[in-house]
């Protein structure tokens, strides 16, 4: 329970369905360690969120616990977030947190409490095929709130113990259910930022955590010519246009960041397009294997409409994707997620983007 509308309504609905509910709220970070909006947090998992979750539990009459997972989250999520930026990537900590914390850690806690299932307020559906005994995620009918992209990494055995009470819901329906249940937070504003970057300023966060001295001035390069200087390569992401710090006759975009040479490469928009990518840490949901290429719709970022591609997993366990048309600004570290209609086939973490016939 994050202290938001969705998880609170999910708990209320489960009680009405006859489940014995235990509320768990995760303390994900030490406020003094992450800086930013300390003392006035509005993000999920914030101090305000913990208090709201506790109030809902008291109102609906079920036990509520706050678990301090700051150390494990620092090791598995925050450190990864920092290290990935220092490696020149654009990490997606939420997909990793879903798999390692909200499911793996939470199910261990469920076992300790004698609970059979975990439930969340995610907008998605779990589908089970009794013939293959495989489970996968299906998109929510609410396209704005659909969270299927973020759930590609959840394991089969974890999905088997998961309930999504808001399957088929829209956000407006959730708010209406919250009103019906008499919850004080039914109209609470939503939070979109990364929970441990409460002010949504990852550059400030990196400076605070790593130290300003780690970020040295380097070259901004176009076609092997130095055209400017930057104050730290992790502060640039592939596809970025604004705030590069150089002027040119036509718009320039960040094409790559190269930690080994402390260089930011920029170029024209057409140079951002690639028709192929590779990905690691592959997790397949709908199918057990994917050795033969299949055609599917592929998303390379959360707010992506998706594009047609051929996909397969090679002998080295890497996901290979070949797009029908080149895609813009494919960033290392982001998640690539495959869809068959509204069903999530699986996904991985992007390691490279390229043009396969080049």
pLDDT band at 197 (very low <50, low <70, confident <90, very high): confident
pLDDT at 252 over 70: yes
Which residues are part of the catalytic machinery? Answer: 97, 195
Mean pLDDT of the chain, nearest integer: 92
pLDDT higher than threshold 70 for residue 342: yes
Q: Which pLDDT does position 40 carry in this prediction?
A: 46
Output the CA torsion 55→57→58→64 (10° steps). -100
Domains of the chain: 5-121+165-180 (3.40.50.620), 215-267 (2.30.30.280), 273-354 (2.40.30.10)
Question: Could you tell me which residue, 198 or 146, shows the higher pLDDT?
Answer: 146
Is pLDDT above 60 for 217? Answer: yes
pLDDT exceeds cutoff 60 at 184: yes
The pair of structure tokens assigned to 53 is 């979750």
Distance CA 130, CA 104 (A): 24
Least trusted range by pLDDT, from 98-102, 131-135, 189-193, 215-219: 189-193
Would you place residue 46 in the very low, low, confident or very high pLDDT band (cuts 50, 70, 90)? Answer: low
Whether the predicted pLDDT of 357 surpasses 90: no
SS (H, E, C) 193-242: CCCCCCCCCHHHHHHHHHCHHHCCCEEEEECCEEEEEECCHHHCCCCCCC
Is the torsion defined by CA of 70, 335, 252, 254 positive or negative? Answer: positive
Compute CA distances 106 → 66, 102, 124, 234, whole Å: 12, 5, 19, 32
Per-residue pLDDT of 131-150, as tens digits, reads 999 999 999 998 889 999 99
Q: Which residue has the higher pLDDT, 195 or 312?
A: 312
- Residue 45 in this model has a pLDDT that exceeds 60: no
pLDDT band at 31 (very low <50, low <70, confident <90, very high): low
Pairing of strands 273-284, 319-328: antiparallel
Task: List, in order, residues 6 or more apart from 206 with CB less than 8 Å away.
Answer: 82, 85, 215, 232, 234, 235
């Amino acid at each position: 329970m994050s202290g938001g509308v969705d998880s609170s309504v999910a708990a209320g609905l489960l009680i009405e369905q006859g489940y014995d509910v235990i509320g768990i709220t995760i303390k994900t970070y030490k406020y003094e360690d992450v800086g930013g909006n300390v003392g006035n947090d509005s993000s999920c998992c914030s101090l305000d969120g913990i208090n709201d979750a506790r109030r809902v539990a008291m109102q609906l009459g079920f036990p509520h616990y706050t678990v301090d997972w700051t150390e494990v989250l620092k090791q598995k999520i925050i450190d990864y977030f920092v290290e990935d930026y220092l490696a020149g990537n654009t990490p997606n900590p939420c997909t990793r947190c879903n798999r390692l914390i909200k499911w793996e850690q939470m199910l261990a806690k469920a076992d300790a409490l004698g609970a059979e299932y975990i439930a969340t307020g995610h907008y998605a559906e779990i589908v089970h095929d009794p013939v293959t005994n495989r489970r996968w995620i299906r998109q929510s009918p609410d396209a704005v709130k659909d969270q299927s992209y973020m759930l590609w990494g959840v394991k089969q055995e974890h999905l088997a113990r998961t309930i999504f009470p808001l399957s088929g819901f829209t956000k407006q329906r959730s708010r209406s259910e919250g009103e019906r249940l008499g919850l004080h937070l039914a109209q609470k504003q939503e939070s979109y930022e990364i929970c441990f970057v409460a002010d949504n300023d990852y550059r400030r966060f990196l400076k605070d955590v790593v130290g300003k001295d780690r970020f040295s001035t380097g070259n901004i390069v176009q076609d092997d010519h130095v055209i400017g200087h930057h104050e730290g390569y992790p502060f640039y992401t592939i596809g970025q246009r604004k705030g590069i710090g150089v002027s040119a006759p036509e718009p320039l975009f960040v094409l790559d960041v190269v930690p080994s040479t402390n260089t930011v490469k920029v170029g024209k928009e057409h140079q951002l397009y690639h028709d192929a990518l590779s990905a690691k840490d592959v997790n397949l949901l709908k199918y057990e294997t994917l050795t033969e290429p299949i055609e599917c719709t592929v998303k390379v970022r959360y707010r992506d409409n998706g594009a047609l591609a051929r996909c397969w997993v090679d002998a080295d366990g890497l996901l290979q994707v070949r797009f029908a048309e080149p895609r813009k600004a494919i960033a290392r570290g982001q998640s690539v997620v495959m869809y068959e209609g509204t069903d999530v086939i699986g996904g991985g973490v992007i390691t490279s983007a390229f043009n396969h016939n080049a």
